[in-house]
Amino acid sequence: MTGTENPVQESTAKPLKLRLYLMMFLQYFVQGCYLPIITLYLIDALGFSALQVGVFGAALAVGPLLAPFVFGQIVDRHYATERVLAFCHLSGGIIMLVLFVQQSFWPVVILGVLYSVLYVPTMMLTNSLTFQHLKDSDKEFPLIRLWGTIGFVIPAWLAEGLFLAHLKGDELNTGRGIVLAMAGVAGLLMAGYCLTLPHTPPVKSDKKDLAPGKVLKMLKYRHFLILVVVAFIISIVHKFYFQWNSPFISAILKFGNVTGAWEQRISSIGQVFEVLIMAVLGFGIKKYGFKTVMLVGLLSYMVRSLVFAYASTLSATFPMALTLTCFGQAMHGLCFGCFLAAAYIYVDKVSPLDVRGSMQTFFGTFVFGLGMFAGGFISGSIGDYFTSSGKETLLRTQWSISSQTGIIEFTQKNLTGESANLLRDWPGIWLCSAAIALFATVLFWILFPNAESSNRLDLTEEAP
């Protein structure tokens, strides 16, 4: 071998990768049970208002706020990662089963907070565990992570194709709660499996240097600071999608008088395309570099919001409205893969070896913590602003839509059993989401430094 040749990168043993595949599958199977349709369940079955949905969405983001200074420190300094994962999933599974039988607003919110404290950090910890056992993370992590995406998709077809297949109307609305029970059972299974994962002890070196302090020092580097800021902003848009996507799909289906449970399966289109993107993500990063790949992801967030805004105005042409809605779902693969997954890989590359757990949880705080917390209130408030009472309007059917304004009118039952006609301006909701995504894209494009296609990052860069 000459001095100019690169050494061959060693590969991780196949049996170990198979164990990591199953870990990722179960990790995201839990979330895939409830996340795609939780908003629709809260609105149609429990009678939550748009603002209450926003409060619940913010509650789910409380957990990551504690992650960098609690779970990251525990994993990096005290306890093995697999044991922390087992504890979190065991406790979270029990809470989800309790949540299944709750219907009142505050108990649901409080249980949501407790669940997020336990579940959300596990997403960062499974990433951290995976990175610590891989020989070539750039190439191998995307292939492992795509099994998480597969796990996220499967519950949609189990729930709607099996448990909800023949339900309609109020029966369907309340029946959707089964996804919470599914998530609880899957969480308990994941807890048991975590105890079989490769032992991942804390790194004992540099004991006097607390992991959170070392992580915060990374903010002096411009590339890391800008990534954190942009991740915070784009996570607000991410929250718009998961908070309003299922009610939006339900509204589009009403254009064509489509009944039954289809929202979760239509939403799963995004995860199917996410699998395809994750399969080639490592190649894309090596060829085009981190900045280009992440810019594609940011632009996809904006385009998806614009597509949804336009689709909601096409009440007269249901096939076109549904086609655009499905296209928007497919773009989730680019949104998640090209920005969020690529960002996790980037964070791993710039992390000091002994604080990788804290680095992953710190970054996750801004993606799934502060950003999602703010996104819950922002998307809920914007949804509430663009939702008005239709008391002055007499509807002859359960729903109607104006082809000129794109405002959907539908009848919803609240907890008291009274009917309230709501007018939801979907173009207004999605255009707000697009504006936030545009701001994040421009900020990243201008301020994030270029990296070589070889991705050898300059960690000696001084803060501007």
Structure tokens at 43: 């609105």
SS3 state of residue 311: helix
Q: Which residues pair with 420 in a beta bridge?
A: 412
Specify whether the backbone of 47 is left (phi greater than 0), alpha (psi in -120 to 50) or beta.
left
C-alpha to C-alpha distances, 111 to 91, 118, 181, 410, nearest whole angstrom: 12, 11, 14, 30
Please check whether residue 163 is in contact with residue 38, taking contact to mean a CB–CB distance below 8 angstroms.
no
Distance CA 16, CA 200 (A): 13
Which pLDDT score, from 0 to 100, does residue 194 have? 94
Distance CA 123, CA 367 (A): 11
Distance CA 437, CA 425 (A): 19
User: Could you write out the three-class secondary structure of 179-239?
Assistant: HHHHHHHHHHHHHHHHCCCCCCCCCCCCCCCCHHHHHHHHHHCHHHHHHHHHHHHHHHHHH
Which pLDDT score, from 0 to 100, does residue 62 have? 79
Record the pTM.
0.79
Which pLDDT score, from 0 to 100, does residue 392 have? 33
Cβ neighbours, 10 Å, residue 149: 27
SS3 state of residue 345: helix
Please check whether residue 325 is in contact with residue 308, taking contact to mean a CB–CB distance below 8 angstroms.
yes
pLDDT in tens, the chain (464 residues): 454 455 556 778 888 889 999 999 999 999 999 988 999 999 888 988 889 999 998 888 876 676 555 665 565 557 788 888 999 999 999 999 999 998 899 999 999 988 988 887 788 788 888 988 887 877 788 788 889 888 998 999 999 888 888 888 888 888 989 999 999 999 999 999 999 998 888 655 444 444 566 667 777 778 888 998 999 999 999 999 989 999 999 999 988 888 888 899 999 999 889 888 888 888 888 888 889 999 999 999 999 999 999 999 998 899 999 999 999 999 998 998 899 888 888 887 777 776 676 677 677 766 777 888 899 999 999 999 998 754 433 232 233 444 455 554 444 434 333 334 467 899 999 999 999 999 999 999 999 887 643 344 444 444 44
Q: Which helix (H) or strand (E) holds 243?
A: helix 222-255
Structure tokens at 148: 């998480």
Cβ neighbours, 10 Å, residue 107: 13
Which pLDDT score, from 0 to 100, does residue 410 have? 40
Distance CA 259, CA 98 (A): 29
Distance CA 343, CA 320 (A): 34
Please check whether residue 367 is in contact with residue 297, taking contact to mean a CB–CB distance below 8 angstroms.
no
C-alpha to C-alpha distances, 71 to 86, 166, 344, nearest whole angstrom: 13, 43, 17
Parallel/antiparallel/unpaired status of strands 399-401 and 387-389: unpaired
Between the two ends of the chain, the Cα-to-Cα distance in Å is 40
Which pLDDT score, from 0 to 100, does residue 434 have? 97
Distance CA 213, CA 208 (A): 11
Which pLDDT score, from 0 to 100, does residue 348 have? 79
Distance CA 297, CA 329 (A): 14
Cβ neighbours, 10 Å, residue 21: 18
DSSP 157-168: HHIIIIISTT--
SS3 state of residue 230: helix
